[in-house]
Structures are given as C-alpha cells and as structure tokens.
Structure 1
Amino acid sequence: MHSLLSRLRHASVGVAVLLSGCNMEVLTPKGDIGAHEKSLILIALGLMAIVAIPVIAMTLWFPWRYRSGNKKATYTPNWSHSTRIELVVWTIPAIIIVILATITWTSSHALDPYKPLESEAKPVTVQVVSMDWKWLFVYPEYGVASVNELAFPVDRPVNFQITSDSVMNAFFIPQLGSQIYAMAGMETKLHLIAREPGSYEGLSTNFSGEGFSDMHFKAIATSEDGFKDWIAKAKATQVTLDDESYKTLAQPSQKVPVSYYGQVAPALFSSVVNKHMGDMSHGEMPMDSHHDMSQADMPMDMHHHEDGDAVSSNTTPTQAEK
C-alpha cells in the first residue's frame, strides 16, 4: 500500500508539471460566445462525471471488497441477473443522452457562427484572409488592413468574413470562442464580441505546412477611442495594399511581423475568393509545392449553408464518390 501511495504521489506531481504548461484560455472567456461554450464544456464534463466517477470508484472498491482474504463477502458464483442493477445501468445513460440531445439541439442553433449577434451597437466588419503563414485583416468600412494584428471595440459585434489564399486553415481566438475554417474559393462567416478590453491570442488550428507553428496573431479589444486611434495609426502608414503589393505579401513567409496598410484596393477580398473559384468548380484545391499534401489527403467537401454561403464538412474524396 505504501508503494502504491508513493507511485500515485509521484504521478500527481508529474501531471501537475505537465499541466503547468497548458494555457486554459478556453476556460477564461472574455466574450459572450466564449462564455456559452465554456458552459457547454462544464455541463458535458459534469454529465460524464456522473458515469465516470462511480465506475472508477467501483473498479477500486470491487477488488478490495471481494478479495480472497475477505471472508465476509458474499460468494455467489452462479449470479446472473439483478433488476436493480439493470435499471441503474440503463436508466442513467438514457437520461444523460436525452439531456445531451436537448443541449446539442438548442446550442447548435443558438451558437451558429453564421448567426449575427443581437446588439444595439453597430457591428465592425473584418475580412480575414489566411496565407502562408500569416493572417491578413481588411477593414472595408475604413479602407485599411493589417497583418497579424486585429483590433476591434469592446461591446461591439465583429462580423468576420473569412477565406484562404492557400490551403485550408482554421481561424480561432480561444477567449472569444468559435473556431471556423478558412478555405480557398469559399467564404465562411463568424460573429464574435468581446466584453473586456485586452490583448487575446489568435491562431490557426489546422496544420498547413512548415510555418504553421508561428501562424499567430493578436486580437486587441479596446475602447472606442482606442479603436479610432488604431485605425488612425494604420492610415498613417501611407502604404497601399493593391494587386502588386498583395502578390508580394502572399508569398510564403514565416514569423511575419505586424504591419499596416493605410489604403486597400477596392473589392480585394472578393478577388481573393473569386480567383480560386475555377479550381473549386473542378473539385481541386489550390496546392503549392511547399505543402507536402496531396488532394487525397484533404478531408474536405462542400455544402451550402442555409443563407447561401459555402461551408466545409469532413468528407473524404472516397466518401464523396460513394
């Protein structure tokens, strides 16, 4: 017993050391969507614990209770049925499944990433382009753009329009919630809101090549005045993001520093989406030589969202043929 306790003690220390490097941003939300998703995580964890904790406890208690040295334990080698046990092992899981089904149905509609957030404040539109290996943010209402830095006011919804100029990536700001894919030739949407000012980590969560590990950006939630100052700083750069400068920016590069563009060519985002539409109509994904992936390795298909925009589904080419 002493040896077992010693091993458990050392194991717990090891687990603590490993978890010390984990960032629990998902569990410290700073926006409405993130808070709802945290609640779902905790509810699911609690429902799992209803089953897991008793099972773990019984796996420890049964060997101890029915050990060969315990003469007080009832020995029934021909036991085969217990109505009470059957009721427990079937009723509890059935109730949990009903609860999960209800939560899944309601939350899937309430947290639809395409669904605009209800707010009296005017939303900020941000067009997001995933590149190798950086993020471009275009503000069409203000005529500015930035690379690897995103800013927006607190308590105002942010309407993201997202695409990719390369392979598939995934846009994610953990403390604000909702990951969504960025895909060439398609536009996906996401609606978020921040309730506290701060600088939040943003990243790609879909492996996209050798520069993937440094494909991060800062999401800055600030006051209205702070947002105006950020827009003014971007405009002051006097650098234009036109077709030529965009082609230079789109070249594969790693650990790209934050940069700003004071002017943006009209309909730049639409042109990025449309230039890949020919490839998508033939069922091909744009693929560069530096990505060691074949078409068969891309588990992606398309279907249409109810408002007409394309979204992804995890369907392999083999499944699609079937």
Structure 2
Amino acid sequence: MPSFKKLRGLLLFPAIVLLAGCNTVLMNPSGDVALQQRDLIVVSTVLMLLIIVPVIALTLLFAWRYRKSNTEATYDPEWHHSTQLELVIWAAPLLIIIALGAITWISTHTLDPYRPLQRIDASRDVIPGTAPLVVEVVALDWKWLFIYPELGIATVNELVAPVDRPIAFKITASSIMNSFFVPALAGQIYAMPGMETKLHAVINKAGEYEGFSANYSGAGFSGMRFKFLGMSNEKFDAWAKATKAGGGELSRDSYIQLAQPSERDPVRRYATVAPDLYDAILNRCVEANRMCMKDMMAIDASGGQGKPGAYNIASLDPATRKRLGLENAPARTYVGAMCTAANPTGAALVSAVQPS
C-alpha cells in the first residue's frame, strides 16, 4: 500500500506540470471590463486572506505552543476574557466587511453590464458622442448567431470587433436558456428566449479569443463555442467588406432552417440580413403566421382582445363604474377586432363596442 501511494503521487506530478501551462485568461484578460473584474477578484481575495492567513498561522502556532509535551507553556484554566483580544478578533473582520461592502457597492454600479462604457481603458475615457458597435446575439441550438445591424451582415460562430471601440451587445435565445461568455472580454450574461439582456464591453488587444456558452443547454452544449476576433479598425473594415461581398442571405426562412438543432457548426457569413430579424426572434414571431409578443402586450395594455370582453368592459353601468372607482377615470379604448392580410380592414370582425 505505501508503494502505491508513492506511485500515485508521482503520477499526479505530470498533471501539475501540464496545469502550470494553462492560459488563465480570467486573470490575464484583454478587455477593460474583464480587467476591472479581475482586479475586483484580486482585491476581494487579498482582503479575505487578511483574516484567513493569520487564523491558519495562529491555529498552527497554538497547536505547537500548547502541545502536551511542552511543559513550559503557561497553563491557566481560570482564564476567560481579554478585552484587547476581543477588540482584535472583532475589529479586524468588521473593517474587512466594511471594505468589501464599499467595493461591492461601487463595482456593482461601475460594472453594470447594462451601463454604457465610460472609458476605453484605465488611461482613456470614451469620447463623447462615440457610437458603439451594436451586435445582436442569438443563442441557437447549439451555435451562436451574431447580427451586425449597422453593416447589414451576420455570422455564425464567429464574432469580430475592432479594438478600442465600445461594443453594445443585445442578447437573446431561440429556445433554451444559454449564457454568453467571452472570458477575455467581460463576464457572462444569460441569453433567454423572449427576453433581451445587454452587455457593454471593449477589447483592447488584437487577437483571437475563445467564446462559449457557460450554461448547460442540452446534447450539443460542449461544442457550442465560437471565436472572438479583435482587429484594428482597418482590418475590421476589410473583414466587413469581404463578408458583404461573399454573398449569402439570412432571410426569415433561412433563419428557421438555421435554428434547427445542430452541433459543431462551421463558421458561416451572410452578406444580407432580413429587416428586423432580431426583433422577430426576440418577439418569437419569425414565422409569418405568428403574432409578435410585443403586439400581444400592446393588445393587453389596450384592454385585451375579443369582442365579448371588450363589450363587457366598455358597457359598464354607472353603478359598476362607481364601485370600481372609475367615475372620474379618463376614457379608455379596447381592442374589439384584429385585421389580417386577407382582411386588412377587419370589416367582418369589427365590433360596435364604444370606448368606456
């Protein structure tokens, strides 16, 4: 048995050597937001170690100092209190908690992913009026779609951005919740169907970085990765022109095909994108026969759909209006009919309901 334990230790040594060569991108990021997050991790760890290290050291010291064989150590079974010791024990953790609370408060607002960037890096602020590069991100099964509305192009499993230009990500998903994560750029942000999350970030160094989903989403999750390329402005413009000239159309029909589950898809580029495709994906109405979520919510905000419901609300008698506190309420309108492509005026569906 002892020989086996020694052999096991020797077998672990090569693994330790291999781990030493890992690229700890979280601690060596290339984007200013990720860099600030790295600093936050370091500061928080150091503050916590100010308590942990002394406690561990004193535990070992006390165990050695008051071991049974040390007859020179003071033995005082009646000792029960020390004001000085109590002050040290409680004051140090209290100060560290106050410091961590202040850092958390400041960083929570400064690094809010929804907040537009105020600086490019530690020495350069964002020039007022600078327009960020808008990238619409869609998590598909199991691949990533990136739409550049300013350029009218789109890519699959390839994200490209110019160095030192703010990036404004709008993020959603087609069916299953995922998490958009480029460790070198910024922290992870969830992608959820029917919802939009946002992330503001900037890349400060040109290079090729890894991006992936950090939330398990099914069988193809392990291959749901993409390359994030940071380029100079000149190279980014050349890439955009080449993509525009490369052909390929991302229409609504082709998107429906693209959204079908597939694994480890190669990089694809589209020279044109259907108008408002991202908005249709977000509102879950890419198909022509589906009502958009935003339209449903607008109908609900206007009183709901349906002739019977609209009539019942619109024809409230004075007593009922008084009971509901609507005596002095302003008049509201209610949806009593919906038009369609075949019936643009809704003539056969029009209700005689009057506003309440």
Q: TM-score, normalised by structure 1?
A: 0.80
Cα distance change on mapping 1:130 and 1:124 into 2, 3 Å? same
List aligned pairs for 1:46-195, cutoff 5 A.
Answer: 46-118=46-118, 119-120=126-127, 121-195=130-204
Is 126-135 or 60-69 further displaced after alignment? 60-69
SS at match of 2:229: strand
The alpha-carbon distance between structure 1 residues 17 and 164, as it changes in their structure 2 partners (threshold 3 A), is: same
Code of the aligned partner of 1:221: G
Instruction: For 2:104 and 2:197, locate their aligned partners in 1 and report how far apart those are by CA, in whole Å.
Output: 22
Contact 1:123 1:159 in 2 (8 A): yes
Relative to 1, partners in 2 of residues 1:18 and 1:60: Cα closer, same or farther, differing over 3 Å? farther
Cα distance change of structure 1 residues 213 and 20 upon mapping to structure 2, 3 Å threshold: farther
Q: Would the alpha carbon gap of residues 78 and 50 (structure 1) be closer, same or farther in structure 2, given more than 3 Å must change?
A: same
1:296 maps to what in 2?
Answer: none
Cα RMSD, aligned residues only:
2.4
C-alpha separation between the residues in 1 aligned to 2:46 and 2:229? 33
Q: Say if 1:161 and 1:190, in contact at 8 Å, map to a contact too.
A: yes
Q: Does structure 1 residue 206 correspond to structure 2 residue 201? A: no
Distance apart, 1:79 and its partner CA = 2.5
Measured against aligned partners, the alpha-carbon deviations of 1:106-126 in whole angstroms (never above 9, x if no partner) come to 111111111111322431110
Residues of 1 paired with 2:175 and 2:77: CA distance?
65
Residues 139 and 145, structure 1, Cα contact 8 Å, conserved in 2: yes
**What SS is found at the alignment partner of 2:269?**
strand
Instruction: Measure how far apart 1:202 and its partner are.
Output: 0.8
What's the offset of the Cα at 1:78?
3.0
Q: How big is the shift at 1:200?
A: 1.1
Q: Distance in 2 between matches of 1:22 and 1:96?
A: 32
3-state SS, counterpart of residue 52 of structure 1: helix
1:100 maps to a residue whose letter is L
Deviation at 1:278, TM superposition (A): 5.1
AA at the equivalent of 1:82? S
String of CA shifts for 1:249-303, please: whole Å, max 9, x gaps: 1011111111101110000000001017759x99xxxxxxxxxxxxxxxxxxxxx
Q: Which has the higher contact order (CA 8 A, sep 6+)?
A: 1
SS at match of 1:112: coil
Q: Compute the displacement of 1:59 (Å).
A: 2.1
Distance in 1 of aligned mates of 2:77 and 2:13: 41
- The answer as to whether partners of 1:26 and 1:177 remain within 8 angstroms in 2 is no
Other structure's SS at 2:77 match? coil
Q: Is there any run of 5+ residues in structure 2 with no aligned partner, and where?
A: 1-5, 119-125, 286-291, 298-356
Q: How many residues align?
A: 275
Aligned residue identity for 2:16:
A
Amino acid aligned to 1:34: A
Per-residue deviation at 1:237?
Answer: 2.4
Distance 1:47 1:222, change over 3 A: same
SS in 2 for 1:255: coil
1:140-168 superposed Cα distances (whole Å, 9 cap, x missing partner)? 01010000100011010011000000111
Aligned 8 A contact 1:129 1:164 in 2 = yes
Q: Does 1:228 align with 2:244?
A: no
1:75 Cα offset (Å): 1.3
Shift of 1:63: 1.4
Amino acid at match of 2:58: M
User: SS of the residue aligned with 1:151?
Assistant: strand
Q: Which runs of 4+ in 1 moved over 6 A?
A: 9-12
Partner of 1:291: none
Q: What letter is aligned with 2:102?
A: T
How far 1:228 moved relative to its partner? 1.0
Deviation at 1:76, TM superposition (A): 1.9
